[in-house]
Amino acid sequence: MSIIPYGRQSIYEDDIDAVVSVLRSNFLTQGPVVPAFEKAIAGYSHAAYAIGVNSATSALHLACLALGIQRGDIVWTTPITFVASANCALYCGATIDFVDIDPQTYNLCIEALSEKLEAAKKRGGLPKLVIPVHLCGQSCNMEAIFRLSQEYGFKIIEDASHAIGGLYKGMPIGNGQYSDITVFSFHPVKIITTGEGGMIVTNNSSLARQVQILRGHGISNLEVEMHSRPKDEIWNYQQIELGFNYRMNDIQAALGLSQLNRIDEFVKARRSLARIYDKELAELPIKIPWQNPDSYSSYHLYPIRIARESQRKVYDALHSGGVGVNLHYIPVYRQPYYESLGFKFGYCPEAERYFHETLSIPIFPGLKDFEQQKVTELLKKVLA
Ligand SMILES: *Cc1c(COP(=O)(O)O)cnc(C)c1O
C-alpha cells in the first residue's frame, strides 16, 4: 500500500524538458537561467531584487548576515516553525528567543510580541531582528509587526517558506512593504520546487548586493568594490568578505522557472482542496484552520486541531490507514539542541497546546479526489 504523503511536488513534462535543456547547454551553474528565474520571482512578488540560493536555510543565514546580525545580538521568532527559522540566528552567533503564537492563526502573536518588547525595553534586551513565519501560507499581521518595528527599532525578515503565491492585503507576499527581506523555499513539499533551493527578495539595493556577494564566497569583481592593487598584478576578482558557496545552479533555476508558470494553478488547487476539507470535516469535533480575511493563503499545510487525548489515536489510525499525517511543528525550543541552550518545557504555553492538538493532513496539487476522500473517511471513522 502506498502512503498518501502530507505534501509532494507536481512535476510536468515541461519541467523535465526545461531541466534537460540546461543539461544540454554550456552552463550547469552560473549561466543565464538563475538570473532569469530571479527576475521572474522579483516580478511575481513585486520586489525590486531577488537572489537565488541553494536553500531557504541558506537564504535565512545570508539575510541575517546582510542585516548585520552578529554575536551579542538578539533575534526573535515563533516556536511553531521549522528549526531553520531559529538556527539562522545561531549561525551568526546571535541569541535566539521565541514569542508565543496566536491561538487563532497559529502565527506569532502580536499581543505577546508587544508585551515581550515592552518588557525587553525595560530590562534592556530588545531584539535587533524579528523573523515572523507565514505558517501554512497564511500571512502574519505584517502591518502590526511593522508598526512595532518602528517603535522598538528592530529589522524584519519574513520567513515565507510556505507562502509564495499567497497575498497579504491583496499584495503578493514578498513585496517588502512591511519588512526588510523576505525568504522563499523551493523544497519539494513547498508551493513550487527547484529540488532544493531558496530565494531572497528585498527592495533594498545594498542588502541585495551584500547577499549576492555572500552567496559566492564573499567575492566581487566589480571595480568599485575591489581594493586598489598594483597595476601590474592581475586582480580579476577579490574576496572582500567571508562568504559561502550558497549559489543556486541553472538546473535548479530551470525547474523553478518552469514551475513558476503554474504557481497560481497550484495555489488554486491547494485552496480548493482546503474548501473540500472545510466542508467535509465541518461536523467533526476538530477545528479547521481559521482564515484571516487580510490573507489569501497558499495553503502549504492544512492543520487540524484535535482534542489532546485524541491526537495520538488519530495520528496512528491515519498512518495505519496509509495516510502520512504529520505534525508542523514541534516547538523549536523543545528540540534537544535548544533544551541544551537552556530552554524549558512550557516556555510558550500556546505553542505547547498547539503541539499537542494539531496534525497536518495531506494537501498538495496532485492529491486525487479518492485520496482526499480516504483521508476524510478515516478521520470520520476515528473521530466518530
Ligand atoms: C522548509 C522551511 C525552511 C527551510 O527551507 P529549505 O529550503 O529546506 O532550507 C525554513 N523555514 C520554514 C518555515 C520552512 O518550512
Which pLDDT tens digit goes with each residue over 2-44?
899 999 999 999 999 999 999 999 999 999 999 999 999 999 9
Could you tell me if the CB of 155 is within 6 A of ligand 1? no
Residue 185 C-alpha cell reads as 523555499
Specify the higher pLDDT residue, 201 or 384.
201
Whole-number Å distance between alpha carbons of 216 and 242: 10
193 within ligand 1 shell (Cβ under 6 A): no
Give the distance (Å) from ligand 1 centre to CA of residue 199.
Answer: 11
End-to-end alpha carbon distance in the chain = 25
Helix (H, G, I), strand (E, B) or coil at 314: helix
96, 363, 383 from 338: Cα distances, Å: 10, 30, 34
Q: Is the pLDDT of residue 266 over 80?
A: yes
Q: Which atom of ligand 1 is nearest to the CA of 85?
A: 11
Single-letter amino acid, residue 54 = N
For 212-264, how does the pLDDT look when each residue is reduced to its tens digit (9 = 90+)?
999 999 999 999 999 999 999 999 999 999 999 999 999 999 999 999 999 99
Indicate the average pLDDT of the chain: 97
User: Once rounded to an integer, what is the mean pLDDT over residues 278-290?
Assistant: 97
CA 55 to ligand 1: nearest atom:
7
Q: In the predicted model, what is the mean pLDDT of residues 32-58?
A: 98
CA distance 182 to 50: 9
Share of the chain above pLDDT 70, in %: 100
Residue-level pLDDT at 1: 62
pLDDT for position 2: 85
Q: Cα separation of 289 and 26, whole Å?
A: 47
Pocket flag, ligand 1, residue 82 (CB < 6 Å) = yes
| pLDDT the model gives residue 118 | 98
Question: CB of 328 closer than 6 A to ligand 1?
Answer: no
329 preceded by a cis bond (ω within 30 of 0): yes
Does the beta carbon of 131 sit less than 6 angstroms from any atom of ligand 1?
Answer: no
**Ligand 1, atom nearest to 300 Cα:** 15
Q: What are phi and psi of 303, to 5 degrees?
A: -85, 130
Model pLDDT for residues 156-173, shown as the tens digit of each residue: 999 999 999 999 999 999
Mutate to test the pocket of ligand 1, among 6, 62, 82 (most ligand atoms within 8 A of CB): 82
Q: What is the per-residue pLDDT across 184-213, written as a single tens digit (0 to 9) for each?
A: 999 999 999 999 999 999 999 999 999 999
Alpha carbon nearest to ligand 1 atom 5, residue = 56
- The pLDDT score that the predictor gives to residue 302 is 98
Give 288's DSSP letter: P
